[in-house]
Amino acid sequence: MSPVRMLNKLVAVEKLDTSGGSKKEGGGFFVVPEVSDNCGTVRFISPEAAEATGLKPGQQVYYGPHSEPIRMKGVDVRVMDISNVYGVVENESQEKA
């Protein structure tokens, strides 16, 4: 699939399937869902947003409620300003580095 060049500081995130209901123990205090309703994979990102944050397509992120659902290149995505992305899901090899 050829990329879409996003404008301004926008990012398009494909929402992850939350039907699995998988959970991970979080330090004994509470259970953290591994996949939440506001978790997705970056599919397209503007050059400005990528430069400002270091995000790349393929990374998993947690995002807030302010987004617009649309279909781009055959993929259902949520388009949002980069300020609506709250965090990046890091894998274990990144956490140990």
What is the architecture of the domain spanning 10-96? Answer: Roll (2.30)
Q: How far apart are CA 29 and CA 15, in angstroms?
A: 27
Do 76 and 51 touch, CB atoms closer than 8 A?
no
Q: Give pLDDT tens digits for 10-55.
A: 999 999 876 655 445 445 444 445 557 889 999 999 999 999 999 9
What pTM does this model have?
A: 0.74
For the chain, domain boundaries = 10-96
Q: Report which DSSP code applies to 73.
A: T
